[in-house]
Amino acid sequence: MKRIIKSDIIPETLQNAPVPTNVKQVDKDIYRADDVCKQLLEDQHYQCAYCECRITKEYNDVEHYRPKSIYYWLGHNWKNLLYACDFCNRTCKNDLFPLKDESKRVTVPGNLEEEEPLILNPTSEDPTAHIRYNRHMLIGITDQGRTTIDLFKLNQRPVLIHDREQLFELYHRELSTLKNVRKLLESPDLPPESRAILVEISNLSSASIEQYKSKDTPYSGMLVNQ
């Protein structure tokens, strides 16, 4: 999971949307409008907000962080919307929204700051404060981190584990290459031709490392959180 910087510019459809007074007034044609989907996907670099897998508009969901079935008045609220893969949204989370203290749940418009959610919201919280990594596996270091990992099965889904492991290995292979090349470049006796080749290899490795760590790369949250 990685931090998501959400656009301050609210999509026009949501700017003009009414605030629902009950769950039946939550309109999917509003929160799933084209301009909403487009902005969410761009803000999230076309990755699921929870598991970081690559997503597109098709076959994935606009997800309500606080479920619309409970928090109906947030059904058209920009800050409450994320883009999530079908598995995270429908199979794992659905209408679940666990709190540290259920007695503090807000079920009518009120002060949401009284709640203490156990699911991380990567648009308002830094996941690195709650989740660490052992190689490509996630470790929760807070109740929120552990609940998020367990709820979304982030350490149980074979495709996620495989893809994270592959990125981890590629990243560390490039780090090793860069370290070795830079050590060779320290030699004062290198022929100019050899030095030029090593400099090129060094530049390519550095570029690969930066690409692996880029927010555009799925699972790169792992690499800035070792």
Average pLDDT over residues 145-150: 98
Share of the chain above pLDDT 70, in %: 99
pLDDT of 69-92, one tens digit each?
999 999 999 999 999 999 999 999
133 pLDDT higher than 70: yes
Query: How many other C-beta atoms are found inside a 10 Å radius of the C-beta of residue 26?
Result: 19
* Residues 75/23, Cβ–Cβ less than 8 Å: yes
93 pLDDT higher than 90: yes
pTM, whole model, 2 decimals?
0.92
pLDDT-based confidence at residue 135 (cuts at 50, 70, 90): very high
Cα(86)–Cα(209) distance, rounded to whole angstroms?
30
96 pLDDT higher than 80: yes
Nearest residue to 217 (alpha-carbon basis) of 226, 208, 204, 205: 208
**Euclidean distance between the first and the last CA atom of the chain, given in angstroms as a whole number:** 12
pLDDT-based confidence at residue 226 (cuts at 50, 70, 90): low
* Residues 98/117, Cβ–Cβ less than 8 Å: yes
Query: What are the domain boundaries of the chain?
Result: 12-151, 158-222
pLDDT of 35-74, one tens digit each?
999 999 999 999 999 999 999 877 678 999 999 999 999 9
Mean pLDDT in the chain? Answer: 95
- Chain-centroid distance of CA 50 in Å reads 5
pLDDT of 98-115, one tens digit each?
999 999 999 999 999 999
pLDDT of 1-43, one tens digit each?
999 999 999 999 999 999 999 999 999 999 999 999 999 999 9
